[in-house]
A = this chain, B = another copy of it.
Amino acid sequence: MKIELGIPKGTRDFGPEQVAKRHYIMNHIREVFELFGYEPIETPAMELLSVLTGKYGEEGDQLLFRVLNSGDFWKEVSPEDVAKGSAHLANVICEKGLRYDLTVPFARYVVMHQHELAFPFKRYQMQPVWRGDSPQKGRYREFYQCDADVVGTDSLLCEAEIVLMIMEVFRRLGIEDYTIKINHRELLRAMSEWIGAAGQEQALCVAIDKLDKIGQEGVVRELQERGFAQNQIQQLLPLFEVKGTYAEVLKHFAQQLKELASAKKAIEDLQTIQNLLEEASGQPLDTFPLMLDPTLARGLSYYTGAIFEVKVNNVAIGSVSGGGRYDNLTGTFGKEGLTGVGFSFGLDRLYDVMEALDLFPKNTRAGVDVMLVHFDTESRKGLLPLLQRLRGASIKAELYPQADKLKKQMKYAHKKGTPWVLLAGSEELQRQSVQLKNMYTGEQLEISMDEVVGFLKQKLYNG
């Protein structure tokens, strides 16, 4: 019987090369996070639905993957439960769901472990999340997030360091042309107030967050639908068109909105972030890939301060990183007033960027450095101690496990991208030597067994 084979829609298998490339990115991110003093935590794939639901809006709740209760899940279900429909029923027969992001589990973690933690608590977390979205290019149902957050301090040094961390990660990955957009929720609030729509900054944010997707006309329509008056919109639009250097944009808003308290806070914060970056680097802000973008809004409702988004230029891939400050993330779990700021790299998008720009090093794949070929029990016997010596010198090595035809063994090494092949027939073994062939250049030489390890180390690490 042949079973229909497949994997769930929107999920992926990763082969050796893909895993190696994904780890290449994650290792660089991890190193930078740790360099800046962030420490790792990990949380379970499953969370209680009581923790997850109500945190991501109505749409988010629908996209949660729910896990059926173990055992006789139907025992407690009443006809009334069935009659109430599947949304209700799902909550009766499931008490767990798969993690939807890393932010809510982080907030839950902080509250549950608050008495063990040293505040300000700086954590990073790199784990998969799951969302029942319709899969499409670049959007998956299982994907990795790489988050760093610090909670328990309102110091704007954290915001400045987020900029520095993004720059350091990109420098290490070789990504050169990118823009870190920054804005401030209080500036958006001030804009609402300034056009006479105080308290409606959330609606404003949701509308302008779509600017990239639906254009300015679309945003105008969206604002109309959300109850903004024509004259308010007319007054708003010029604000979005303010352009220039970070300092110029900042100066513009400082003058235009100077009478609003919310603007004052935003301007001060943005000015302090500039000062900190200049003090840390000794460079003027003009040298930073930073843009103060009044149209940057970020959809999520919990942001309250500076917000970020990072876009790699000249690549048709959405933002690869984003984040911002929030004042009360843990409030919903019973711990009020813990301010924090965090951001996230999207691993899958960064991967696509790296591929598009051809930035992965040639030898990312984890395969061996050298494959040993043998022809019979005798040559295997002669090569086994050498195999162990190579490994003892940290040279990744394998002995092709069967005495297949030479051609087949060479083809195997070629298919796996193995750089060196080592052969020894009875003649070489008698001379205590081996043939060494470079699979890229075709270069071949005979070398004594005692010299192989040293020769390969030289070639592999100083080549």
Min CB gap A425→B, angstroms: 18
**Contact between chains at B44 and A13 (CB < 8 Å):** yes
**Contact between chains at B74 and A70 (CB < 8 Å):** no
Known: A15-B113, A66-B67, A388-B280. A8 touches B46 (CB 8 A): yes
State the CA gap A252–B327 with chains docked (Å). Answer: 74
**Contact between chains at A41 and B14 (CB < 8 Å):** yes
Contacts of A65 in B (CB 8 A): 46, 67-68, 70
Give how many A residues have a beta carbon under 8 Å from the other chain's beta carbons.
106
CB within 8 A of A280: which of B276, B371, B384?
B384
Residue of B nearest to A39 (CB): B16
Contacts of A74 in B (CB 8 A): 82, 85-86, 89
State the CA gap A387–B161 with chains docked (Å). Answer: 11
**Contact between chains at A334 and B35 (CB < 8 Å):** no
**Contact between chains at A13 and B67 (CB < 8 Å):** no
Residue of B nearest to A411 (CB): B118
State the CA gap A250–B255 with chains docked (Å). Answer: 90
Min CB gap A124→B, angstroms: 9
This chain: copies in complex? 2
Contact with B along A154-168 (1 / 0, CB 8 A): 010110000010001
A150 at interface (Cβ–Cβ under 8 A)? yes
Residue of B nearest to A164 (CB): B388
Task: Spot the interface stretch: A173-181, A289-297, A393-401.
Answer: A393-401
Min CB gap A400→B, angstroms: 8
Task: Spot the interface stretch: A190-198, A236-244, A362-370, A451-459.
Answer: A362-370
Contacts of A4 in B (CB 8 A): 50
State the CA gap A82–B401 with chains docked (Å). Answer: 54
Residue of B nearest to A334 (CB): B2
A185 at interface (Cβ–Cβ under 8 A)? no
Q: Give the residue among A20, A50, A74, A279 with the most B Cβ atoms within 10 A.
A: A279
Interface CB pairs A-B, < 8 A, 5 = A8-B96, A34-B396, A74-B86, A158-B401, A280-B388
